[in-house]
Structure 1
Amino acid sequence: MKRIVKDFSVKDFIMITIGIFLVAFGLEYFHIPNNIAAGGVSGLAIIINSFLSMIPVGAIILVLNVILFAVAFVTVGGGFGAKTLYASFGLSVIMWVMETFFTPGVLTEDLFINAAVGTFVIGIGMAMVFNYGASTGGTDILAKILHKYIHMDIGKALLVVDFIIGLASIATFGITAGLYALLAIVINGNLIDRLILGFNTSKELMIISKKEQEIIKFIIEELDKSCTVLNGYGGYTSEDIQVLYVILSRREYIRLRGFIKEIDPRAFISVNEVHEVLGEGFIDIKL
C-alpha cells in the first residue's frame, strides 16, 4: 500500500458524502428500477442483480469493489487514498440504507426520463466526488489494470470497460434499455467533465487604476487574497503604469468590482474565466 491516508478535511468529508448520496439516489430511484446499467461497477451490479435478485445492488457493489481493490493491490500496487476508500464503500452503505429502510421503486414509467434524470443526478454526484480528490473505485481499477498490462490509455480503457458493460446490458435487458444505458454512459462522461469545470471556475482579472494601492489593500485585507503587480507603459499616455493581476472566486470578484466602482469608476478591468487554479488559496496542487 503506497498511500492510504491523505489530508481529509471536514469539508471534503461533507462534500464527498453529499456526492455519493446523489449517486446512490440516482441509481436507486432511476437506473436500478428501470434496468439502466450505465457502465461502471453499478451497471455491472444491476446486471448481476437481474440473475441474483435476492442480493441487493448495493451489496453486489460492495462485494465487487472489495474484489477489485484486492486485485488492484496485487497487480498495480494500490495507492488509492482514504478519500477513494471512503467514497467506494460509503456508496454501498448509503445504498444499503436506502434499500433497507426506504424501499426505492419506480418514480415514473417513462424510460427516457429515468435515463436522463438519473444520469444527471449521478453526474452531479460523481463530479462532486471527483472534485474533492476521490473516486468510487470500480471500473477505474479495471482501467488501471488494463493500462499496466496491455499499455492502453486509461481514458480509452474506461470507455472499453463501460462499453462492454453496455453491451451486456443489451443482452440482458433488451435493445431499448441497453441503448439507453449506452447513451447514459456517453452523456455521463461529458457531463462530469463539464460540471467539474463549473465547480472550479474562477475569475482572472487585470486591473489598471490610479487607486492601485487602495485596491491592493482591499484584496489583501478584505478578500484575504494576494495579487501580482506588473509594471507597464501606457501606449497612449506614455506614462508608467501598474497592472494588478489577481484570480478570485465569483463572489470575491463581485465584491472587488463594487469596491473599484466606488473609488475609481474610470478604472480599466479585464475579466476572463479560468477553469482550474492550483496552488495556495485554491485547490491543493497535490490532488
Structure 2
Amino acid sequence: MINLSYKQQIAFNSLSIILGNALYALTVVLFLVPSGLITGGATGIALAVNKAVGLPVSGVLFVINITMLVLGWIVLGRRFAVTTVASTILSPMFLALWERVFAGFVLTDDLVLNTIFAGFGVGISLGITIRAGASTGGMDIPPLVLNKYFHIPVSASMLVFDLLILCLQAAFSPLQQCLYGIVLVIVYTIVLDKVLIFGTTRTEVKIISKYSDEIREAILSQLDRGVTVLHGEGGFRHDPEQVLLSIISNRQLPKLEKLAHAIDPACFMIVSHVTEVSGRGFSLEKDYQNP
C-alpha cells in the first residue's frame, strides 16, 4: 500500500475531484442529453428545464448549484460550504466545455447502451469525487437542511426529492425513456457503492485447528500477514481451543487455504469479506519486531 505525504494527498484529492467532475459532465453530454434519459439530482432538474424551455444544461445546473451552495453556507455552516464549492463550480464549467466540444455529436442512438454507459459514468464519477472527500453539492443539500431542523432521515428525503425530479422529467419524456431512466438510477447507485469500497476490501479468515501453532507460523512466514490468536471454547465438550484470526488480501486466500489444509485437512475455516481495514500493515507501514 502506498502511503502519501500530506501534500501529496492534497494534490491527489484535488486531481480526483477535477477528474470526477470532468467525467460526470462528459457522461451527461455524451449519454444523458442526446438520449433524453431522465435522472435525479440537480442534473435531473437541469435536463428537465432544458427540455421544457431550451436553456443550456450547464447554465441551469450552475444556478441550482450556486443557490444550494448559498443555502448550505447559511444553514449548515462555512465548513460544509467549502467542501461543496469545488463541485459547484467544476461540474457546470466542464458541462459548458463538453457542450461546445461535442456540439451536435451523438455517440449512439441505442437507449440500452446509453443507459448502461451513463450509469457507469455517473456512478464512477460520483464515487471518485466522494472518495476524494468532496461533496457533490446540488440537491444533496436540501435533505441535510431538513434533517437538521426536522430530523427527517437524509436517505428518505433524498429519495422523495429524486422521485419528484424524475416525475418532473417524465412530463417531458416518452414512457420508454422514463423506464430506462429508472434503470439508470439503479445502475449508477450500484456502481457508486462498488467504487466507494474499491481497493479497500479484504478477506477475513478464522481458523480452528489442533495444529494452530503450525498454521500460525505458516501464515506469518509464507504469507507475511499478521495473526491474532483468540482463545475460545468448544460448545459441546467445552475443550479450550485457539482461533486464528488473520486479514489477508483477496488474492492470498487460495494460498492460505492450501497452507492450512496441507497442515490440517480437517481444520475448521471461516472466510468473510470486510469492506475496509485500517492499521499497521494496511493503512500504515508494517513494523517488524522480534518477539
TM range (shorter): 0.7 to 0.9
Rate the CA distance shift 1:73–1:232 in 2: closer, same or farther, 3 A: same
1:98–1:104 CA contact under 8 A, matched in 2: no
Rate the CA distance shift 1:199–1:43 in 2: closer, same or farther, 3 A: farther
2:229–2:244 CA contact under 8 A, matched in 1: yes
2:231–2:242 CA contact under 8 A, matched in 1: yes
Alignment counterpart, residue 215 of structure 1, candidates 208, 215, 219: 219
What's the offset of the Cα at 1:137?
1.3
% identical equivalent positions: 25
Which residue does the alignment assign to 1:22? Answer: 23
TM-score (norm 2): 0.74
1:270 aligns with 2:274: no
1:215–1:260 CA contact under 8 A, matched in 2: no
Moved more, 192-201 or 98-107: 192-201
> What SS is found at the alignment partner of 2:80?
coil
2:227–2:244 CA contact under 8 A, matched in 1: yes
| 2:269 alignment partner AA | S
What's the offset of the Cα at 1:28?
1.3
The number of residue pairs the alignment matches comes to: 270
| 1:178 alignment partner AA | C
TM-score (norm 1): 0.75
Which residue does the alignment assign to 1:192? Answer: 192
TM-align CA RMSD: 3.7
| 1:248 alignment partner AA | I
Which residue does the alignment assign to 1:44? Answer: 45
| 2:214 alignment partner AA | K
> What SS is found at the alignment partner of 1:265?
helix
Would you identify which runs of 4 or more consecutive aligned residues in structure 1 move more than 6 Å? 233-236, 238-241
Structure 1, gaps ≥5 residues long: 1-6
| CA distance, structure 1, for counterparts of residue 188 and residue 262 of structure 2 | 45
| 1:216 alignment partner AA | L
Structure 2, gaps ≥5 residues long: 1-7, 285-291
Rate the CA distance shift 1:277–1:157 in 2: closer, same or farther, 3 A: same
What's the offset of the Cα at 1:283?
7.1
Which residue does the alignment assign to 1:176? Answer: 176
1:120-173: CA deviation from partner (whole Å, max 9, x where unpaired)? 321232233334443311111021122234432110111111111111101223
Which residue does the alignment assign to 1:124? Answer: 124
1:4-26: CA deviation from partner (whole Å, max 9, x where unpaired)? xxx95444344444433432232
Rate the CA distance shift 1:227–1:137 in 2: closer, same or farther, 3 A: farther
| CA distance, structure 2, for counterparts of residue 93 and residue 213 of structure 1 | 57
Rate the CA distance shift 1:113–1:215 in 2: closer, same or farther, 3 A: closer
2:62–2:89 CA contact under 8 A, matched in 1: yes
Which residue does the alignment assign to 1:4? Answer: none
